[in-house]
Amino acid sequence: MSLRLLIAFPALILAACEMRMWEQDRLDTWEAETAEHGRLPPDGAIARGDLVHLELLENRPPMSLALVERGRTVFERTCAPCHGGYGDRAGIIVERGFPAPPSLHEARLRDAGPSYFVEVITNGYGAMYPYANRVEPSDRWAVAAYIQALQRVGEAREAEGAPGEATP
C-alpha cells in the first residue's frame, strides 16, 4: 500500500464522520409535511381508490324503482332530519335551531336535475355541509332519483289543486 493511500484512508473515514448521519433532514412528530420530504403527492395526483369513486360519480345509474326505493331509504335517514320527509318542511334538526333549507319543490330546484343534487350532496351548499363521506356515490344518484320522484308527486298534487305539501 502506498504512503499516499495510508494517509488518505483515515482522512476518508474522518470525512464520513463529518457527515453526521444522525442529523439528517427528517420529519419530527407533528411537523407539517412539505414537498421536500417527498411525502406529499404531486399536484393533480389521484389515488387509485378515488378513480373508482370518480367513475361512480360520473356514471349515472339507469332510473329504476329499486333506485328510487334505495334513494328513499337514504333520504329519510340522512336528509329528512333537516329537509323533512317530503323535502319541503323543516325537519327535526331545523326545529332545534339549524338554518332552514329551501323547499326541494321550489321551481328552481325542480329544474335543477339529478346531477345538481349529486353535486350538493358531494360538496355541500352554503350552510349545508358535504355528505360525501356519509353517502356513497351510487347512493347519491339514488337520493337524486328519489328527490325527483318527490318533485313529480308535488307537481301532480298541485295540478290536482291539492296543496303541494303531503307526507309520502
State the Cα–Cα distance between residues 76 and 23, nearest whole angstrom: 57
CB of 114 to ligand HEC, least distance (A): 10
State the Cα–Cα distance between residues 66 and 79, nearest whole angstrom: 19
Phi, psi (degrees; rounded to nearest 5) at 26: -150, 170
Among 67, 120, 142, 145, binds ligand HEC (CB under 6 A): 120
Q: Which stretch binds ligand HEC (CB under 6 A): 21-29, 34-42, 52-60, 94-102?
A: 94-102
Q: Does 68 bind ligand HEC (CB under 6 A)?
A: no
Residue among 109, 105, 59, 100 at smallest CA distance from 82: 100
Among 33, 66, 125, 162, binds ligand HEC (CB under 6 A): 125
State the Cα–Cα distance between residues 9 and 145, nearest whole angstrom: 77
Amino acid at 165: E
Nearer to ligand HEC, 57 or 120 (CB): 120
Residues at the interface with ligand HEC (CB under 6 A)? 78-79, 81-83, 93, 98-99, 101-102, 104, 109, 117, 120-121, 125-128, 131, 135, 143
